[in-house]
Amino acid sequence: MSDSTLPASRLRESLGYLNWLYNPFHGLDASGIYDLLATSSPTERGLYFNLGYWREATDLDAASDALAMLVGETAALDPEDRVLDCGFGFGDQDILWAQTLKPRHIVGLNITGSQVELARRRVAKLGLDGRIDLRLGSATDMPIDSASVDKVVAVECAFHFRTREVFLREAWRVLRPGGRLVLADIVPAPAVSGFPARLEQRISWRLVAGKFAIPPQNAYTRPTYHSKLAVSGFEQIRVESIREHVYAPLHRFLAEHPQTLARLHPMARLPARLALRFEATSVYRGLDYVLASAMKPQQLLGRSRRRP
Ligand SMILES: C[S@@+](CC[C@H](N)C(=O)[O-])C[C@H]1O[C@@H](n2cnc3c(N)ncnc32)[C@H](O)[C@@H]1O
């Protein structure tokens, strides 16, 4: 790279952040966001882009691993399993599952080309490319045969999918009967009453949904999430809120370890620091965080799948 291309690419990147975060009339699609974020993950040892599960974790890397393990263990990943992981980021979770829960095979789909490329290199470097196959592709149009996988998982990404319902139909199609679907996902919080809580709730959801490419069709609360799974043909459905182990402890950790934010692009640090000046209750008032799991019925004979 020549001396003049480096500042030019930095300038382009800064303008990209400026436009994304500070221009109220501009948003990016999901792959545009993750291309821009590139490898500026706030984690220290890995390249996760999730908020973490803080029930026992005391740092962001451990919390991100814990969220991946929560999904992997809820899906009961085991050495017999063929797994489909949608929205795998840089593949950290797949590497972790391959090393701990040891599923037979993992196929990953991700729409962000820059992430797919680096994730594939990371997996190959660890000699795991025979067991983890990471591909460019969308969770809403899966290049996967019907009834060919045992588990479908998605760690903190289904809110992006256009739409989550299309993804649920695809997940149902590719799962074998008796296969399981597990998601860690962000949805709007149940409505609160009174001022200013109601206003905070709206602002909080709109800011996140607007800047993080969440289509309006995915903005429904837990009970509707449950019924969308049921209408898609799933059984044994659980949609549990784990928000108390996500937002407030993350906020507390960042307030106590502001140096973590130094790993973000300078343009992204400002809104992150501003958010830390407010109480977690206000900042995250509009957001719920769910762990959802469901099973494709064992017996499909004699049943027609219910369609939305
Ligand atoms: C918040 S990041 C989470 C990444 C990773 N699961 C983690 O926990 O670090 C969301 C991921 O979803 C991916 N994504 C968004 N829309 C997608 C789609 N339609 N199909 C597949 N991946 C998608 C993004 O490229 C990104 O990798």
* Contacts for 36 with CB less than 8 Å, ≥ 6 apart: 13, 16, 17, 20, 28
Contact status, residue 110 vs residue 94, Cβ threshold 8 Å: no
155 close to ligand 1 (CB < 6 Angstrom):
yes
Our CA dihedral for 290, 206, 41, 129, rounded to 10 degrees, sits at 50
pLDDT at 225 over 50: yes
9: tokens are 């690419």
Q: How far is the CA of 100 from the centre of ligand 1 (A)?
A: 22
Torsion on CA atoms 166, 170, 175, 178, rounded to nearest 10: 30
- 170-184 pLDDT tens trace: 999 999 999 999 999
Of ligand 1's listed atoms, the one at least distance from the Cα of 138 is 20
Query: How big is the chain, counted in residues?
Result: 308
Task: Decide whether any atom of ligand 1 lies within 6 Å of the 110 Cβ.
Answer: yes
Any residues with CB less than 8 A from the CB of 144 and at least 6 apart, and which?
84, 107, 109, 174
Q: CA 294 to CA 274: how far, in whole Å?
A: 38
Confidence (pTM): 0.94
Cβ–ligand 1 distance for 161 under 6 Å, the answer yes
Looking at the predicted structure, is the pLDDT value of residue 300 above 90?
Answer: no
Going from N- to C-terminal start, the domains of the chain cover 30-295
Q: Which of 160, 166, 287 to mutate to test the pocket of ligand 1 (most atoms within 8 A of CB)?
A: 160
Q: How far is the CA of 197 from the centre of ligand 1 (A)?
A: 30
Burial zone of 272 (CB within 10 Å; 0-12 exposed, 13-18 middle, 19+ buried): middle
Q: Which residues, other chains included, contact 124 with Cβ-Cβ below 8 Å and sequence gap of 6+?
A: none
Q: Which atom of ligand 1 is nearest to the CA of 34?
A: 25
Supply the DSSP symbol for 233.
T
Q: Residue range 115-127: average pLDDT?
A: 98
Q: Report the 10 Å Cβ neighbour count for 211.
A: 16
Q: What is the mean pLDDT of the chain?
A: 94
Cβ of 30 below 6 Å from ligand 1: yes
Cα(110) to centroid of ligand 1, in Å? Answer: 6
pLDDT digits 0-9 by tens, 187-197: 999 999 998 99
Evaluate if residue 133 carries a pLDDT over 90. yes
Rounded to whole angstroms, what are the CA distances from 10 to 14, 22, 266? 6, 17, 11
Q: What is the predicted pLDDT for the residue at 6?
A: 64
What architecture does CATH give domain 30-295? Answer: 3-Layer(aba) Sandwich (3.40)
Q: Each residue of 137-188: pLDDT tens digit? A: 999 999 999 999 999 999 999 999 999 999 999 999 999 999 999 999 999 9
Q: What is the pLDDT of residue 26?
A: 83
pLDDT of residue 308: 39
